[in-house]
Amino acid sequence: MRRNEDTPATLDLFADDAPPLSSTEQIGPCSFVLHGFALPLIDRLLPALESILQRAPFRHMVTPGGYTMSVGLSSCGQFGWTTDRSGYQYTPTDPQTGQPWPEMPLAMRELAQAAADAAGFADFNPDACLINRYIPGAKMSLHQDKDEHSYQWPVVSVSLGIAAVFLFGGHSRSDKSQRIPLFHGDVVVWGGEDRLRFHGVMPIKQAVHPLLGEQRINFTFRKAR
């Protein structure tokens, strides 16, 4: 079932309305939710995440407007995404440590490539993975992913932990957004004509996940350069 902008924000994300695992939901001409797609790799993804965070812990960055983000951020891969009062950018080193960002683990790269391929985007080779940590109350305002050098490649977004409502809008901030429930293991892929759609995450509801506790972890794979 495709969910649209009329899906209520108060949806019970832990009831029986979760879509079947391994199903695909099309949310735009070139955009898909691959439900449960990451679940077969969970046993490899969680240790990989832990090893990354030992070298590049979560931090709450400051936007150019001076606002501290409610979402904790880290990165892995050849480039990491950063923000401060000077602007948004990709950097080859972690500004907090001065060291290169941790290498992207093979399990994460394989997942991103397989999801992109399943959505019709062959030969995706991400060089950046943003890792976001949402705790209850954290959110992500509507925005476009446009700091990359080219928009040829899709964005692949992986949800782990407690559920979220993903906002998927149009090419203008004022366009009405779909509200799409995302559960542990779901992967969203968007590209092509949908690549610059506005998107975000509604405030996370209080919940506990059996593996990850009171948090949602989001991997966002991109081709930055």
Give the residue-averaged pLDDT of 198-208: 98
213 confidence band (pLDDT: 50, 70, 90)? very high
- Are 214 and 207 in contact, with CB atoms under 8 Å apart? yes
**CB burial class (10 A; 0-12, 13-18, 19+) of residue 150?**
exposed
CA distances to 71, 75, 158 from 47, rounded to whole Å, are 21, 15, 16
Which percentage of the chain shows pLDDT scores above 70? 92
User: Does the structure show a pLDDT above 70 at 225?
Assistant: yes
Tokens of 22: 């391994």
pLDDT of residue 21: 72
- The rounded distance, in Å, linking the Cα atoms of 114 and 221 is 12
* % helix, strand, coil for the chain, step of 5: 15, 35, 50
- Are 10 and 158 in contact, with CB atoms under 8 Å apart? no
- The rounded distance, in Å, linking the Cα atoms of 1 and 205 is 23
- The rounded distance, in Å, linking the Cα atoms of 152 and 199 is 18
The amino acid occupying position 40 is P
Residue 143: other Cβ atoms inside 10 A: 12
- The rounded distance, in Å, linking the Cα atoms of 210 and 143 is 31
- The rounded distance, in Å, linking the Cα atoms of 79 and 128 is 5
Alpha carbon 52 to its chain's center: 16
68 confidence band (pLDDT: 50, 70, 90)? very high
62 confidence band (pLDDT: 50, 70, 90)? very high
Q: State the chain's mean pLDDT as an integer.
A: 92
- DSSP letter at 116 equals H
* Sole residue written with tokens 């099309």: 26
Which percentage of the chain shows pLDDT scores above 90? 86
pLDDT tens-digit map of 157-188: 999 999 999 999 999 999 999 999 999 999 99
- The rounded distance, in Å, linking the Cα atoms of 106 and 2 is 32
pTM, rounded to two decimals: 0.91
- Are 158 and 111 in contact, with CB atoms under 8 Å apart? yes
pLDDT tens-digit map of 76-120: 999 999 988 888 999 999 999 999 999 999 999 999 999 999 999
Domains of the chain: 24-222 (2.60.120.590)
